[in-house]
Amino acid sequence: MSPRKRILSGIQPSGTIHIGNYFGAVENWVRLMADYDCFFTIVDLHAITVTYDPKLLPQRVWDAALDNMAAGLDPARCTIFIQSHVPEHAELCWLLNCVTPLGELGRMTQFKEKSERERENVTAGLLNYPILQAADILIYKADAVPVGEDQAQHLEFTREVARRFNGRFGDYFPEPATLIGRGARVMGLDGDSKMSKSMDNFIGVTEEPDAIWEKLRPAKTDEARKRRTDPGSPDKCNIFGYHKLVTPEGELREIVAGCTGASIGCIDCKKILHRNLMKVLDPIRERRRDLALHPDRVREALDEGARKARAVARETLDGAKKLMGLL
Ligand code: AQP
């Protein structure tokens, strides 16, 4: 029997995970556990590339672990760990720094966006973020990386890093494929930009149902529907984009008919969305509550995850160092 293909993916510990993270990535991770040898990491070393509060970071890492396990990452079926607990990532990052031309880094979209926001604090770490991400992936010789569309450019960059290393030192790193999730780019509640924590336009996966309703109720819809009697176009409505992620086919067709024929209003449509979204999120919120009551289980899973990850990472790092001529 051939060994299972391997995947690696990561998530930032920057507050609760939102439905963009969930439908873009985490839901896919949960599905892929059945067929792949999976490594999932909470990327705390990435989180420190922008301004952050060191007093809050430990809680955020903990929250990320709880959220992701509650969302379905099962430590019995995958390796889940905290990035900084596997120091080999940072060491490989240094080696890869030395094969990566500077010019490419400044052209990364995420760097441009974040450096715009971080004007006072654009660190070398922020610039080198994609090299650390390449190290995260290549150190497990991952065959594929399941992510949302926003990470496609960084994945292309990772393949480029692998090609450069292989071209110079011999064939060593596989070029990982990109696996885009069902919600490739979930839009924020503002309807203007991608859902993201820093834009504060998100629905948290473990938020209470009432809090989610308070966010959905005023959320942007098709602007052509100024009055309830105005017909709308679901394809121009941000809310319909969310429906496509959680609403069954038959009910979707009813919504299209109701919106285009103005027989349902935007609030009715949002109530249906809320009900269907909560069917996905209720069990996650409940599992999270349960996990919070058993912190030892989570700690043990993370320790075991780091131990398993380190064994693989060490071997890859040693091979890379040897190829590079380091004694
Ligand atoms: N809106 C989204 N739609 C689809 N996929 C998304 N992802 C993130 N936002 C969306 C995917 O989620 C995974 C983990 O991403 P991350 O931890 O890097 O999250 P992020 O991009 O940092 O999330 P935010 O909310 O946008 O954080 P801030 O605002 O702090 O930068 C990745 O696979 C990502 O593609």
CB of 317 within 6 A of ligand 1: the answer is: no
pLDDT, tens digit, 9 for 90 and up, residues 76-128? 999 999 999 999 999 999 999 999 999 989 999 999 999 998 888 899 999 99
Mean pLDDT for 122-143 is: 97
Domain 209-288: CATH superfamily is: Tyrosyl-Transfer RNA Synthetase (1.10.240.10)
pLDDT tens-place string over residues 21-71: 999 999 999 999 999 999 999 999 999 999 999 999 999 999 999 999 999
Q: What is the C-alpha to C-alpha distance for residues 285 and 279, in angstroms, rounded to an integer?
A: 11
Looking at the DSSP assignment, which residues form a beta bridge with residue 39? 8, 79
Q: How confident is the model at residue 2 (pLDDT cuts 50, 70, 90)?
A: low
Q: Average pLDDT for residues 160-184, to the nearest whole number?
A: 96
When pLDDT is averaged across residues 144-155 and rounded to a whole number, the result is 96
Atom number in ligand 1 closest to CA 110:
31
Ligand 1 probe mutation, 40, 182, 187, 196, most atoms within 8 A of CB: 196
For 9-30, the pLDDT digits (tens) are 999 998 889 999 999 999 999 9
Q: Which ranges constitute the DSSP H helices of the chain?
A: 19-21, 27-32, 44-47, 57-70, 88-97, 102-106, 109-117, 124-138, 152-169, 209-216, 238-246, 249-260, 266-292, 295-323
Q: State the average pLDDT for the chain.
A: 96
Atom of ligand 1 nearest to the CA of 196: 25
Boundaries of every domain in the chain: 6-186+295-323, 209-288
- Closest ligand 1 atom to 17 CA: 25
- Whether 196 lines ligand 1, by a CB cut-off of 6 Å, is yes
Phi, psi of 192 (to 5 degrees): -105, -35
> What would the mean pLDDT of 162-187 be, rounded to a whole number?
96
The pLDDT tens digits for 292-311 are 999 999 999 999 999 999 99
pTM greater than 0.85: yes
Q: What is the rounded CA–CA span in Å between residue 239 and residue 276?
A: 12
Residue among 110, 144, 113, 142 at smallest CA distance from 128: 110
Topology annotation, domain 6-186+295-323: Rossmann fold (3.40.50)
- What spacing in Å lies between the alpha carbon of 250 and ligand 1's midpoint? 30
Residue 219 to residue 270: CA distance in whole angstroms = 9
What amino acid is encoded at 135 in this protein?
Answer: A
DSSP labels for 272-324? HHHHHHHHHHHHHHHHHHHHHT-HHHHHHHHHHHHHHHHHHHHHHHHHHHHHT
Is the sign of the CA dihedral 271, 272, 273, 276 positive or negative? positive
55 part of the active site: no
| pLDDT at 240 exceeding the cut of 80 | yes
Which of 5, 141, 197, 321 is an active site residue? 197
Task: Please identify which of the residues 5, 194, 220, 308 carries the catalytic annotation.
Answer: 194
Pairwise pLDDT comparison (182 vs 5), residue with the higher score: 5
Question: Which of 7, 9, 12 has the most ligand 1 atoms within 8 A of CB, as the residue to mutate?
Answer: 12
Note the maximum CA span of the chain: 75
Rounded to whole angstroms, the Cα distance separating 129 from 306 reads 21
Residue 131 CB partners (closer than 8 Å, separation 6+): 93, 96, 97, 100, 105, 161
pLDDT band of 270, cuts 50, 70, 90: very high
Confidence of residue 1 (pLDDT cuts 50, 70, 90): low
The mean per-residue pLDDT over the stretch 138-155 comes to 96
Query: Is the confidence at residue 221, as pLDDT, over 80?
Result: yes
